Amino acid sequence: MAHLNYLFLLQTYFKRDNPEEARTLVIAICAVVAVAVLSYFIRHGFSNPLAGTGKNKSAAVVPRKFNAFTLHKIASNYGLNREQKKLLEFVFRNDGVTDPERVMKTPALLNRHFKRAFKTIERNSGTDEESQERLVKLFTLRNLIESSSGTSDNSSVRLTDNTPAILGCGKDSYPVKVLSTKAQNVVVEYPRNALGTPIRITKGTKVSLSFFTKSSNGFAYDGVIGGAVNTDRGQGLQISHSGRMKPLVKRRFLRRSTDIHCDFYFVTIEETGTGRKKTSRLVVNNKKFTGMIKDISVGGCALKSSAPIQAGSRLKINIDYDDNYVINVLGQVIRTNRSSAGTILHTKFIKVPRRAFNSISTLVFGYNDD
């Protein structure tokens, strides 16, 4: 009944006063209502950009209250464009986030909300093509946030037993595993060549020991060889360092440790014609090699194989993603590390199809984990 009372008062006002003043009052009321409505949409968002156009497109995403200026600040800090900003807003609203800043500072929370957005897109997209296109945008945003995140505080990083590391000595590098750490002394596995023969490194030789944390942040110690030592796990090599750990350049893409079978083939470039009519094409060799993907990101992988592959080689790699799908990518070997257990081919991907990009990203971020 309150609104009827307001109408009565307005009617009374219109009869008693100048019509021009009444018109001004109505305009002022409309302006206040318009500002209130606009303010509501600024705080709650205008639309759900990735809810889908399929059979579930009517599924509503319940709006949650968080300040639009907070979202703008986050987008500016990470260099997001307008489309990416809307997509991030969708991720937050899809999972009822009320404190975006806290989420951005908590990797586990951020990944959980992105995983639920991933599930929503898969469930609500009308076609597979539509789903793949939207997932590319989602994972591109996720990778951008990952690469823009600050490196962890060095003081919280510790080199622990059994950590895989790379021992750098001059121009050579050898994969090793940390056997023990104590104060400013580290004992690692004795480095070996491809034949399994221990590498002799003179006492006092300057070396570096680099490693990556589970969050893919890289660090390194500079030190000197202290000599061979006997451990309960066999002969080791002692390294003395200053205790000062330096961060390595952060990887562009998050990488995940795996043990996935793959087949790969040599790829060569075949050129025909001359001058302006000269053309080139990629030719895949029929000889098949096998290996294991030890870690992977959308930017590359570490491939373990006994095959004699040289740095610079181009490879077509078929990765057994699951029983129904094989990921096909084109890569180039950047460097190799040889050990008694085989050769690790550090490979950069130079061509990743859209579906392969989404499948690798799903694996890396764990969105296919139940």
**Any domain includes 57:** no
**Any domain includes 58:** no
Q: Are residues 162 and 140 in the same domain?
A: no
Of 35-49, 89-103, 217-231, 334-348, which gets the smallest average pLDDT? 35-49
**Any domain includes 82:** yes
Task: Report the amino acid identity of residue 10.
Answer: L
pLDDT in tens, 299-331: 999 999 988 888 889 999 999 988 888 999 999
Single out the residue in 247, 270, 291 at which a domain terminates. Answer: 247
CB atoms closer than 10 angstroms to residue 255: 18
Which residue is it, tokens 């705080």? 43
**Any domain includes 53:** no
Give the residue, 296 or 16, on which the prediction is more confident.
Answer: 296
Task: Report residue 212's pLDDT band, with 50, 70 and 90 as the boundaries.
Answer: confident
Q: What is the mean pLDDT of residues 201-225?
A: 84
The per-residue pLDDT for 249 is 59
Q: What is the mean pLDDT of residues 182-211?
A: 87
The per-residue pLDDT for 78 is 85
Q: Are residues 141 and 242 in the same domain?
A: no
Task: Report residue 46's pLDDT band, with 50, 70 and 90 as the boundaries.
Answer: very low
Q: Are residues 354 and 274 in the same domain?
A: yes
The per-residue pLDDT for 62 is 46
Q: What is the mean pLDDT of residues 279-293?
A: 90
The parent domain of residue 271 ranges over: 256-365
Cα torsion at 329, 334, 337, 341 (round to 10°)?
10
Task: Please count the structural domains in the chain.
Answer: 4
Single out the residue in 217, 247, 277 at which a domain terminates. Answer: 247
**Any domain includes 51:** no
Q: Are residues 288 and 354 in the same domain?
A: yes
Instruction: Check pLDDT > 50 for residue 201.
Output: yes
Q: What is the mean pLDDT of residues 266-275?
A: 82
Q: Are residues 313 and 349 in the same domain?
A: yes
The per-residue pLDDT for 270 is 81
Q: Are residues 144 and 94 in the same domain?
A: yes
**Any domain includes 56:** no
With a pLDDT cut of 90, the percent of the chain lying above it is: 38
Instruction: Check pLDDT > 70 for residue 89.
Output: yes
Q: Are residues 132 and 189 in the same domain?
A: no
- DSSP annotation of 76 reads H
Distances 325 to 83, 320, 321, 350, 360 between C-alpha atoms, Å: 31, 7, 6, 20, 12
- Most confident segment among 20-29, 210-219, 246-255, 280-289: 280-289
CB within 8 Å of 286: residues ≥ 6 apart? 265
pLDDT in tens, 111-141: 999 999 999 999 999 899 999 999 999 999 9
Instruction: Output helix, strand, coil percentages for the chain, rounded to the nearest 5.
Output: 35, 35, 30
Instruction: Check pLDDT > 80 for residue 10.
Output: no
CATH number at residue 234: 2.40.10.220
Of 90-104, 215-229, 242-256, 313-327, which gets the smallest average pLDDT? 242-256
Task: Report the amino acid identity of residue 93.
Answer: R
**Any domain includes 360:** yes
The per-residue pLDDT for 215 is 58
Distances 280 to 129, 133, 331 between C-alpha atoms, Å: 30, 30, 18
The per-residue pLDDT for 60 is 46
Q: Are residues 238 and 262 in the same domain?
A: no
The per-residue pLDDT for 38 is 59
The per-residue pLDDT for 72 is 86
Distances 41 to 35, 89, 145 between C-alpha atoms, Å: 10, 13, 26
The per-residue pLDDT for 242 is 82
**Any domain includes 280:** yes
The per-residue pLDDT for 87 is 95
Single out the residue in 128, 148, 168 at which a domain terminates. Answer: 148
Q: What is the mean pLDDT of the chain?
A: 81
Instruction: Check pLDDT > 50 for residue 157.
Output: yes
Q: Are residues 275 and 360 in the same domain?
A: yes
* CA proximity to 331, closest of 353, 354, 361, 362: 353
Task: Report residue 353's pLDDT band, with 50, 70 and 90 as the boundaries.
Answer: very high
